[in-house]
Amino acid sequence: MRKALVAMALMMPASSALAQETACDQLAGYRLIPRVEGAAGVYAISQPEAAVTACLAERTAHPDDPWFAVLLARARLAADPADGRAVGLLRGAMEEMPALASAELGRLYETGQGALPTGDRQARDFYTAACDAWPDRVAAPGCTRLAVMKIEGRGGPADEAGGFALLDNLCRSGWGTACLQQAFQTDLHAEGDFDEISRQIVTLFEAGCEGGDLLACSQFGYRLELGDGVTHDPARAQALYRQACDGGEPQGCSYLGEIYRSGLGVQPDMVEAVRLFRLGCAGSDPYACVTLGDILSEGRGVEVNLPEAIAALDHACWLGDPEACDMADGLR
């Protein structure tokens, strides 16, 4: 399933004078585009304050290294999505790292973070600037977001064919996140034989997982669990959920929590299920938060914990789940 495509043909050149992994890399580095080849990076920054401290120290020690400016910006936004200092750091890195800095600035405009106003046009402009550097690997995040905006017609004219072509090019080059987005967009826009479309989507999720995207692993696992577009394989699904969860992807934790809650191929274990739903909720997966709130409010196999149940439901409400808002209000 595209295994031969996963190996990146283009390796990122070493641009930093510091050629060893640091605490900043470990706490705030990118998994798929590490500053130093071989550094692990993180899927999501789980210790934002520690990441800020580590990256600020490296930024102070190496003020001319643009990588640490970008990683410090990433850490600051994890600690506080409205921290406007991230914008200055990214703009300062534009000259030496235009592709990555532009992609990050585009993301801030798209999401309204960094004290910037939400603006699809500005986001698309920054993503376009980032993508101009393709096939440099650091351009892949910006190219992927640009492709999605083209398909959806946001920030500029719609170009569905061009967007899909760009995602396909990125995916075939081994960029797993592009495969994931191609699967999502295919699910939304493809017309024709339903079974064939399902098989195409599964192939893309598998390619995305092989390319290192942990959400693609969760999505591929879910299709395996359902037998949707692929042979039913709950054992492999469980292994993929665990791989994603261990890497910090919250949806994988939620799916694995459901495995233990329902006893799907394992002994039911509510203590383990609650642990996994806590991880999923901490990563802002609404389903995990709602399920956690329900379990803790009713004492389903564990002790009742109304304060934590309400907090979990409030978080799901903030994430946009109206049922969670009603459930939280009913527990107050």
Q: Determine the Cα–Cα distance for residues 67 and 62; give it in Å rounded to an integer.
A: 10
- Is residue 251 a part of any domain in this protein? no
Within a domain: 258: no
Domain-ending residue, one of 67, 96, 125: 96
- Domain carrying residue 286: 265-332
Token pair for 132: 């101009």
Q: What is the CATH number of the domain that holds 324?
A: 1.25.40.10
* Residues 6 or more apart in contact with residue 69 via CB below 8 angstroms: 59, 89, 90, 92, 93
Distance between CA atoms of 218 and 247, rounded to whole angstroms? 11
Amino acid at position 306, single letter: L
Query: Kind and range of the H or E element at 110?
Result: helix 98-111
Mean pLDDT over 164-176 rounds to 98
Is residue 258 a contact partner of residue 269, using CB atoms and an 8 Å limit?
Answer: no
Domain for residue 326, yes or no? yes
Is the residue at 282 inside a domain?
yes
Bridge partners (DSSP) listed for residue 42:
30
Confidence of residue 13 (pLDDT cuts 50, 70, 90): very low
Total domains in the fold of the chain: 2
Statement: residue 1 has pLDDT above 50: no
- How far is it, in rounded angstroms, from Cα 229 to Cα 213? 20
**pLDDT at residue 176, as a whole number:** 98
Mean pLDDT, residues 316-329 taken together = 94
- Tens digit of each residue's pLDDT (9 = 90 or more) over 175-217: 999 999 999 999 999 999 999 999 999 999 999 999 999 999 9
Residue 276 within any structural domain of the chain:
yes
Residue 209 lies in a domain: no
Residue where a domain terminates, one of 96, 125, 147: 96
Q: What does the pLDDT average to over 26-38?
A: 95
Report the alpha-carbon distance of residue 240 to residue 256 in Å, rounded. Answer: 9
Domain boundary among 61, 96, 131: 96
Q: Is 260 domain-assigned? A: no
Q: Which residues is 30 bridged to in the sheet?
A: 42
- The predicted model gives 87-112 an average pLDDT of 97
pLDDT at 10: 34
33 part of a folded domain: yes
What mean pLDDT do residues 229-243 have?
96
